[in-house]
Amino acid sequence: NSNATIGFFQQPHIYSKSLLQGGPRVYLPDQYGAWWAFDTDQRKTFSLRQSGWFKTGNKDAYFLLETGLQATYQPLNQLRFYIYPKYLMIRHRIQFNENISYNGTPYYIMSRLDQDRFSLIVRVNYTINPNLSIQYYAEPYISTGIYNDFGHIANPLAKSQDEQISFYTGSQLTYNEVSNNYEVDLNKNGTTNYEFGNPDFSFAQFRSNLVIRYEYKPGSEIFVVWSQGITDHGVPTGGLYHNFDSQILSKQPEFTFLIKATYRLF
């Protein structure tokens, strides 16, 4: 049977003690959101499950959406296909970056974070007979994050963002391409007071395994494994698909081939 589930939540008057990672507690705007799941009849040859959740806050402080679609196709008892694409989007206005001490005063560096993440799980299970089976698993994954609108905490308990965060102006913040750091000139006198690293990231990974299992006698088996892997750290340019193409599809994976045998003596 098909079914659906949906729920809602709200969290008013939030004061976070962990956001600044050892710093003072911070006021966060009210949070509210929902979660859902829709399932088709899992007894059918082809079935689907769509699920996800989202969270947002007042004053455009943050927005999070995570959603995925699971599809299963089993034309035979011994053959099963499974695919699960999933997407995550984060748009945070109050994103902590790091704590910097200058002249004995801590500066909690904040920013806006635009993060996108995509993953895809593929599984194939094929049992040819009780003694011989084939399993395949693959998962490409990519996550990109772009940080902008930097500033530091001025009044952590203020309910207005303009009072809570002192945003750096163009004359206060300079990006140094050579060091890949942001330099801050608080007094606008041409002297850098402190600097912090560029937190932008693009992390990509691909893993796959093909496993053939053969039981040549009761309790004794041979496993043949072929694995592929890619891990890449890059710069988020051109959108999620562009990075997916340049960091996974255009890369040559590393291959691992393994044979394992077991023998039952008794």
Tens of pLDDT, residue by residue over 69-111, are 999 999 999 999 999 999 999 999 899 999 999 999 999 999 9
pLDDT, tens digit, 9 for 90 and up, residues 113-155:
999 999 999 999 999 999 999 999 999 999 999 999 999 999 9
Does any domain span residue 162?
yes
Residue 214 to residue 231: CA distance in whole angstroms: 31
Q: What is the pLDDT of residue 258?
A: 97
User: Would you say residue 8 lies in a domain?
Assistant: no
Instruction: Say yes or no to pLDDT of 255 above 80.
Output: yes
**Among residues 211, 205, 213, 212, which one has the least CA distance to residue 254?**
205
| Domain-located, residue 41 | no
Q: What angle do CA 38, 42, 46 make, to 5 degrees?
A: 95
Residue 1 has pLDDT above 90, yes or no: no
List the domain range (segments joined by +) for residue 105: 18-28+70-167+200-261
Give the end-to-end CA distance of the chain in Å, rounded to a whole number: 47
**Residue 116 maps to a domain:** yes
Instruction: Name the pLDDT band for 237 (thresholds 50, 70, 90).
Output: confident
What's the total number of domains in the chain?
1
Q: What whole-number distance in Å separates Cα of residue 82 and Cα of residue 228?
A: 19
pLDDT score for 266: 79
The answer to whether position 217 is within a domain reads yes
| 266/260 Cα distance (integer angstroms) | 19
Answering whether pTM is above 0.75, one says yes
Question: What phi-psi label fits residue 60: left (phi over 0), alpha (psi between -120 and 50 degrees) or beta?
Answer: left
Question: Would residue 86 count as lying in a domain?
Answer: yes
